[in-house]
Amino acid sequence: MILTSFPASAAWLAAVALGSAAPAPEAKSAPVDPSARASGSPASSATVETVETSSSVGTLTLYGGARGGVLSVRGETGDEVARATLRPGQEVTLELPPGLYEIRPETPGVNGAPVRVNAGESPRFELPGRPPPSPASATAKPVVAPSSPPAPRQAARPVWKRPVAPIMSALIPGTGQMINGELGKGFGMLLGTAALVAGSVVLYNAPDPLEGAGRGGDSQSFGTAAVTAAGFGVMTGGLQLLYASQIMDAYAVAADKRTPTPRRRHRLALEVGRSATVGFRVGDPAADLYADWSMALLVQIVPRFSLGVSDMSMKFGSDVGRVTMQGGVRAQYRFYDRGRVWMSAALGSILQGSFARGEPDPLVLGGEPPAGDTSFAAVPYGQLDLRFFIVDRWSLNLAPRVSVPLGTRFYGEDRAIPAHAVTFELGTGVGVYF
């Protein structure tokens, strides 16, 4: 008789007893049991591979009958737990975790049957035909290694929290975490958001608009203004990411999905973000933050490589009625994706058209407005894209880029960067994947 107990672990066998499936680890080998004997025959050896199981077990007896044969013991998931090759009249007893098993004879014309094993009971399965029993029936028992009981699973959160928690976080940052029972995290999100808002307001109002306006008061404000503008850009970018992340976190906790599974094989990616840089401006302060909000739509052509339209936006000026429209193309390759972190490199170009209408001179009564001006520019750039996932389909994006405008590049509120001015921009935003 040859008995083989297939790979199983404490976690898998416990899962069989509860009616659920789990992956089975590798089995450990054990020495041959010299006491295993077949009835009516000299002592026979049985090859036994041990399995790890829980301490609460039942027994299952397999009987070879008049002809013997091969029996396959399968769990509720259909995975083979043990296989016994029995000679006529031979009997084998297995120790198994409680649960429902299916006995499948590999003898043509012989039907199998389901058998339930309970702790303290010993069901029996017999092949057809039964010669007189022999006292030398062989009994092979897998070696049982005790294991600690599985940790109790946390009760599922109410379904109503899945929409309510993120909506409340969108209205008042941190309240979604409080609804999920994470009071400390919720207060932390609320205080962090308030601190970033306060810091942004202070930096926005820091420049003195009258600096250098007095006689002989030449402005020396570029250094200070550049640092202030950069700080304002970093704070507002951080505020944007914190606000989006606490909404995602509220949903992830409410749905009990704390470990996301990013969609690597997505077909479409929609991104919304802001690219910001610090540049010169006329007057005081001598430097300002140039921000460009835009949207991108990328199609994953093959795994890791995406191509699509990007940097789509429209901007309006206030002084000469300028309207600027832009769009572009981007090719992007994802060279790293482990867990919830992705890293990509991208090349792209922004195509921009700017149109301004002339304004009449207010000092000339009935004067005709001067002719407007039209300009076009291309802005090629290289970009590093870092993405962090909190839920499966949503990511936080951080995208530093270097661009070189071929022509005057216009931003909102009549701000502009001259042609050929190498520009470093910091992009922040969110992405969703379909």
pLDDT exceeds cutoff 90 at 432: yes
Looking at residue 99, what is its pLDDT? 85
Task: Report which of residues 11 and 417 the model is more confident about.
Answer: 417
pLDDT above 90 as % of the chain: 44
Judge contact between 426 and 400, C-beta under 8 A.
Answer: yes
Judge contact between 395 and 426, C-beta under 8 A.
Answer: no
Distance CA 227, CA 210 (A): 18
Amino acid at 114: P
pLDDT band at 9 (very low <50, low <70, confident <90, very high): very low
Looking at residue 72, what is its pLDDT? 86
Dump pLDDT digits (tens) for 137-175. Answer: 444 454 444 455 555 555 567 899 999 999 999 999 999
* Range with top average pLDDT, 2-11, 124-133, 139-148, 176-185: 176-185
Distance CA 169, CA 163 (A): 10
pLDDT band at 100 (very low <50, low <70, confident <90, very high): confident
Fold of 2-145: Immunoglobulin-like (2.60.40)
What is the token pair recorded at 44? Answer: 């026979």
Distance CA 398, CA 385 (A): 6
Dump pLDDT digits (tens) for 263-275. Answer: 999 999 999 999 9
Dump pLDDT digits (tens) for 18-55. Answer: 333 334 334 333 333 333 333 333 333 343 333 444 44
Q: At what angle do helices 161-171 and 222-254 cross, to 10 degrees?
A: 160
Dump pLDDT digits (tens) for 336-358. Answer: 999 999 999 999 999 999 888 76
Distance CA 434, CA 430 (A): 14
Judge contact between 73 and 81, C-beta under 8 A.
Answer: yes
Sort strands 28-29 and 416-417 into parallel, antiparallel or unpaired. unpaired
Looking at residue 148, what is its pLDDT? 53
Looking at residue 130, what is its pLDDT? 52
Distance CA 269, CA 359 (A): 42
Judge contact between 21 and 77, C-beta under 8 A.
Answer: yes
Dump pLDDT digits (tens) for 222-261. Answer: 778 888 889 999 999 999 999 999 999 999 999 998 899 9
Residue 28 CB neighbours (<10 A): 13
Please state the pTM of the whole predicted model: 0.61
Judge contact between 42 and 72, C-beta under 8 A.
Answer: no
Dump pLDDT digits (tens) for 167-208. Answer: 999 999 999 999 999 999 999 999 999 999 999 999 888 766
Alpha-carbon distance values, 142 to 35, 49, 82, 303, 398 (Å): 13, 7, 10, 46, 55
* Start-to-end CA span in the chain (Å): 56
Average pLDDT of the residues in 59-86: 83
**In degrees rounded to 5, what are phi and psi of residue 164?**
-70, -45
Dump pLDDT digits (tens) for 279-335. Answer: 887 666 778 899 999 999 999 999 999 999 999 999 887 766 789 999 999 999 999
Mean pLDDT for the chain?
79
Domain boundaries, given as residue ranges, for the chain: 2-145, 157-258, 262-359+371-434
Cβ partners under 8 Å of residue 51, min gap 6: 5, 6, 7, 8, 9, 13, 27, 142, 143, 144
Q: Which CATH number fits domain 262-359+371-434: 2.60.120.860, 3.30.413.10, 3.40.1170.10, 2.40.160.20?
A: 2.40.160.20
